[in-house]
Amino acid sequence: MEWSREERYKRVEDVSETYISELTKKVSEGPYRQKFHVQPKTGLLNDPNGFSYYNGQYHLFYQWFPLGPVHGVKFWYHVASDNLVDWQDLGVAMEPDTKYDSHGVFSGTGFVKNDQLHLFYTGNTRTEDWTRIPYQCHAIMGSDNQIKKDAKPLIIDSPIGYTDNFRDPKIIEQAGRYYCIIGAETTDHQGAIAYYVSEDLKDWKYQQAVKLKGNIDSKNQGFMWECPDYFELADQGVLLFSPQGMESKGDKYQNIYQSGCLVGEPLDFATGEFQITEMFNELDRGFDFYAPQTMTDPQGRQLLVGWLGLPGVDCVTDDFGWAHCLTIPRELSLRNGKLYQKPVPELEVLRGKEVTKEMKLENEMVIVSDFTARIYELKATFTKIKGSRVGVAFRMGAEEATYFYYDRSAKKLVFDRSQSGISATNDYGTLRKCDFSEEELEIHLFVDESSVEIFVNDGLEVFTARIYSKLDHNQIQFFADGQAFITATQWEI
């Protein structure tokens, strides 16, 4: 069904209660609802927002359009958790109800200061002739979880040199000053990150665009960098963003839009220089990952949550009145200039029935009949590998299977979704690959009703994707063209 502009920008107040209750019913009765991922009760979810730890809880918000599985006028929806696993539904956090956010309360971040959670976000507005004017806005959440928006925006429109694609503020505190980095498109259509400085979080002065120094492919940077984030790990700077408009190159940049990071010397906000030591690297090698956001938690961990979806791509659940979900939280670390991502250990509380299998495979495929769960966590190590290929097929049955394997001849990891079941689109292909040449392989899967997240070798690589497989297709098969010793454990979730 096509949605007109009027329908996408309709006020929730103007929609009948019957419409909402019928939509809610359709969603809850439909297939593919997730069991342990944050998902919308109706409509469309996109970016995680305001990920933070405040008043003894993790707070997470997300971009939400309530009325259907399309990008319409966006809200912030609020969930909170004590353990990063069980998320309490706190309802709508911010509605598009002021003249500075009339066409969407767009993405932004949370920043804790003086016992308050400061929310910085982009107010998206359109004039009568549909010209976009972005505002960078601020709201405060207190310990009662009530949010109060400022009467006036902090930053009006974009400075000279940028288009109206100017959004997604992230606040960084350094040596007693505050910096606000913003995702931008320059007037010559290059992706950029602009930044402002403030002494008090209120009065913001434009500085410049972050100047990237070093080894960068300036011809393939894309036209717009969404959702920037910056943090330091192991004395290095990590600049994370989601560029739009990069051309695919070999196995890289296969999705409609990308999401990745640059690693370098700590960003020098005085000069705006970011000396890069590692080229742009995609954060996730799968089909469905975008607009991630990080926060530092009280234990000092850098945690990341992403959108398990992408803009401009249909979702199988559109027919059932909702679209997309968030990834599980991941803990970040930096090793040899590479960002590693591991599922947070808190997720272990989800573990139910546990089954472990050991096997030696020699040019064979073995179905593990004791692995019967549909929703599960699975860890498998492949050692003493010889030959050309080792891997696993899961969500397998007579008609479907999803494959993940190490192609040793090509030195690649391969994720094959071509036979996974229903798909909304194959426009962006059905295979994802990345370079890999380790001696041993460890895969760590989190399989929910309609998604899989595969962490490889302690988080060196991650593949994230939606899969829509038949209810009785739950077999797991290991295979080796050559040899491998495999130890595998499945925990039902």
By the rule CB under 6 A, 259 interacts with ligand FRU: no
Quote the least distance from Cβ 239 to ligand FRU, whole Å: 16
Give the span between the Cα atoms of 165 and 134, in whole angstroms.
8
306 versus 421: smaller Cβ distance to ligand FRU? 306
Quote the least distance from Cβ 107 to ligand FRU, whole Å: 3
Tell me the pairing of strands 211-213 and 273-282: parallel
Quote the least distance from Cβ 118 to ligand FRU, whole Å: 18
Quote the least distance from Cβ 258 to ligand FRU, whole Å: 12
63 versus 490: smaller Cβ distance to ligand FRU? 63
- The vertex-147 CA angle with 145 and 148, nearest 5°, equals 150
Q: DSSP alpha helices (H): ranges in 102-219? A: none
- The site string for ligand FRU over 71-110 (x = CB under 6 A, - otherwise) reads ---x-------------------------------xx---
Quote the least distance from Cβ 115 to ligand FRU, whole Å: 27
By the rule CB under 6 A, 229 interacts with ligand FRU: no
244 versus 317: smaller Cβ distance to ligand FRU? 244
Residue 260: name the closest of 297, 237, 285 by CA.
Answer: 285
Per CB under 6 A, the list member of 38, 119, 227, 361 interacting with ligand FRU is 227
Residues in 55-74 at the binding interface with ligand FRU, rule: CB under 6 A: 63, 74
By the rule CB under 6 A, 226 interacts with ligand FRU: yes
Give the span between the Cα atoms of 173 and 196, in whole angstroms.
12
The neighbour count for residue 399, using CB atoms within 10 Å, is: 10
- The site string for ligand FRU over 416-445 (x = CB under 6 A, - otherwise) reads ------------------------------
By the rule CB under 6 A, 125 interacts with ligand FRU: no
Q: Map tokens 């699975």 to a residue.
A: 378
Give the span between the Cα atoms of 167 and 335, in whole angstroms.
31
By the rule CB under 6 A, 450 interacts with ligand FRU: no
Give the span between the Cα atoms of 240 and 270, in whole angstroms.
20
Q: Choose the catalytic residue: 47, 101, 284, 481.
A: 47
Per CB under 6 A, the list member of 39, 42, 46, 469 interacting with ligand FRU is 46
By the rule CB under 6 A, 167 interacts with ligand FRU: yes
Residues in 271-300 at the binding interface with ligand FRU, rule: CB under 6 A: 290-291
Quote the least distance from Cβ 226 to ligand FRU, whole Å: 4
One-letter amino acid of 331 = E
**How is the chain split among helix, strand and coil, in percent rounded to 5?**
5, 55, 40
Per CB under 6 A, the list member of 42, 47, 87, 436 interacting with ligand FRU is 47
Residue 159: name the closest of 196, 198, 200 by CA.
Answer: 196
Point out which residues pair with 422 in neighbouring strands: 468
Q: How many residues does the chain have?
A: 493
Environment class of residue 128 by beta-carbon count within 10 Å: exposed (0-12), middle (13-18) or buried (19+)? exposed
204 versus 290: smaller Cβ distance to ligand FRU? 290
Residues in 305-364 at the binding interface with ligand FRU, rule: CB under 6 A: 311
In the residue annotation, 47 being an active-site residue is answered as: yes
Quote the least distance from Cβ 387 to ligand FRU, whole Å: 42
By the rule CB under 6 A, 137 interacts with ligand FRU: no
Give the span between the Cα atoms of 74 and 83, in whole angstroms.
27
DSSP code of residue 6: H
Residues 6+ apart with CB under 8 A from 398: 473
By the rule CB under 6 A, 254 interacts with ligand FRU: no
Give the span between the Cα atoms of 310 and 70, in whole angstroms.
12
Quote the least distance from Cβ 292 to ligand FRU, whole Å: 11
291 versus 334: smaller Cβ distance to ligand FRU? 291
By the rule CB under 6 A, 182 interacts with ligand FRU: no
Exposure string of 251-260, with b = 16+ CB inside 10 Å and e = fewer, is: bbbbbebbbb
Q: Phi and psi for 220 in degrees, rounded to 5?
A: -135, 55
Residues that bind ligand FRU (CB under 6 A): 46-47, 63, 74, 106-107, 122, 167-168, 226-227, 290-291, 311
Point out the residues that are catalytic.
47
